[in-house]
Amino acid sequence: MRHHFRFAIPGLLLLGAICFFPAGSAHAQSDTLAATPPMGWNSWNHFAGKVTDADVRAAADAMVSSGMRDAGYIYVNIDDTWEGPRDAQGNITTNSKFPDMKALSDYVHSKGLKLGIYSSPGPKTCAGYPGSYGHEQQDADTYAKWGIDYLKYDLCSYGGIMKKEAANDQQKQWEMMQAAYEKMHQALLSTHRPIVFSLCQYGFDAVWNWGPKVGGNLWRTTGDINDSYDRMSVIGFAQAGLSKYAAPGHWNDPDMLEVGNGHMTPDEYRTHMSLWAILAAPLLAGNDLSKMDSTTKSILMNKDVIAVDQDRLGIQGDRVSAVGPFEVWSKPLEGGAKAVALFNRSEAEYPITVDFKSVGFDGPVHARDLWSHKDLGTLDGSYTATVPKDGVVMLRLSK
Active site residue 369: no
Is a pLDDT exceeding 50 seen at residue 244? yes
Q: Does the pLDDT at position 252 exceed 80? A: yes
Q: Does the pLDDT at position 396 exceed 50?
A: yes
Q: What percent of the chain has pLDDT over 70?
A: 92
Radius of gyration for the alpha carbons in the chain, expressed in angstroms and rounded = 21
Q: How confident is residue 31, by pLDDT bands cut at 50, 70 and 90?
A: low
55-70 per-position pLDDT tens digit? 999 999 999 999 999 9
Q: Is 390 an annotated catalytic residue?
A: no
Q: What is the pLDDT of residues 185-223, one digit of tens each?
A: 999 999 999 999 999 999 999 999 999 999 999 999 999
pLDDT in tens, 128-167: 999 999 999 999 999 999 999 999 999 999 999 999 999 9
CATH number of 318-398: 2.60.40.1180
29 versus 349: which is more confidently predicted?
A: 349
The architecture (CATH level 2) of 4-309 comes to Alpha-Beta Barrel (3.20)
Q: Is the pLDDT of residue 6 over 90?
A: no
Of 53, 79, 149, 154, catalytic: 154
Residues 88-111 have a mean pLDDT of 98
Q: Where are the domains of the chain?
A: 4-309, 318-398
Please tell me whether the overall predicted TM-score, pTM, comes out greater than 0.75 for this model. yes
Q: CA-to-CA distance for 302 and 305, rounded, in angstroms? A: 5
pLDDT at 388 over 70: yes
Q: What is the pLDDT of residue 30?
A: 39
Active-site residue identified among 53, 80, 149, 224: 224
